[in-house]
Copies of this chain bind each other. A is one copy, B any other.
């Protein structure tokens, strides 16, 4: 019998609530019948949607709550008011072992703070990272951290390298993933203290995957490595800069195609090809900011996610669960600490959002 993966869904988070989460779960369930769901939220709204998907209904249960965390609240205030909220109950169901992973499209800061507080970090990991994958010339690349930890010392960057390498193995199917440290140049003496120390630790060669060395911003989309490791400040700026350039290019393309009747005809003829190009960089295929390093799978779906994007986030969670991501990270960290390659992580921080 195939083991099941039970996903807790914060059905009230995001812009669309159950009207997106239920159809997305139904679509995911159709492809992966080992999925089970616990929906947290308004049972009337959930039931309305569920009526259209009888087979999903049989694989799901609903925990009613009419409390939800607002997307505008600061993390600290959201935590204070979080009792019985759909987000908090969903996270608690993972901590209690009822679910294997949780998905939310709600307030990112609150989700990070609550999941750190309730799930705690994996042994050996001092802080969770936000990770996501990006399209590259050769396939896709995982980058972390994207904003959870603004300042990271060498040990934390090293932990991210372990999380990233195991993700690449488990979810991306890369046997020996290459890991690069994001820097301002590729030479050994480049960069600040933290990246140079992290490089020294990773160069010992005792880590999962292959340490590639320093990489630059251009390497992210070039696909130079499978895993890009950086601090949350740099990662967040790089991610959003890339988004901005994407929007600029798309606007300039639109302007160009509208600039003359001939260009419009050209666009019409090439529109099938243009659509395929858009598909290649469709952000919905890359939806799901994974919070890696927690003692429980936690995936943040984009607030404005539609059914396709949300279904993708569900598959990502299921993959992390079925691939035994957390177990593999814990084993690897145990080994590295036992061999004195890295020191045992300090008491996990739970205050920083």
Contact = CB atoms under 8 A, between A and B. Distances in A.
Interface in A220-268: 220-222, 230, 232-234, 236-249, 251-253, 255-257, 259-260, 262-263, 265-268
A205 interface: no
B256 A273 contact: yes
A242 B240 contact: no
| A-side interface size class | 35 or more
A258 to B, nearest CB: 8
B280 A233 contact: no
Query: How many copies are assembled?
Result: 2
A337 interface: no
B233 A184 contact: yes
A150 interface: yes
A248 B277 contact: no
Contacts of A238: 217, 237-238, 241
B246 A274 contact: no
A137 interface: yes
A147 interface: yes
Nearest to A151: B192
Q: Taking chain A's interface residues, is the majority helix, strand, or loop, or is none over half, making it mixed?
A: helix
Nearest to A223: B248
A236 B248 contact: no
B273 A247 contact: no
A147 B190 CA distance: 11
A247 B238 CA distance: 15
A349 to B, nearest CB: 15
Contact of A266 (B182, B232, B273, B276): B273
Interface in A145-167: 147, 150-151
Contacts of A222: 244, 247-248
Contact of A260 (B252, B262, B272): B272
Contacts of A280: 252
- Return the 8 tightest CB-CB contacts between A and B, nearest first: A217-B240, A266-B270, A266-B269, A263-B273, A217-B241, A256-B277, A221-B244, A218-B244
Interface of A: 135-137, 147, 150-151, 182, 184, 191-192, 216-222, 230, 232-234, 236-249, 251-253, 255-257, 259-260, 262-263, 265-274, 276-277, 280-281
13 contacts: A147-B184, A184-B233, A184-B237, A192-B233, A217-B239, A221-B247, A238-B241, A248-B281, A253-B277, A263-B270, A266-B266, A266-B268, A266-B269
Given A184-B236, A245-B249, 11 more contacts: A221-B241, A221-B247, A230-B237, A237-B238, A241-B242, A252-B281, A256-B277, A259-B273, A260-B273, A263-B272, A265-B269
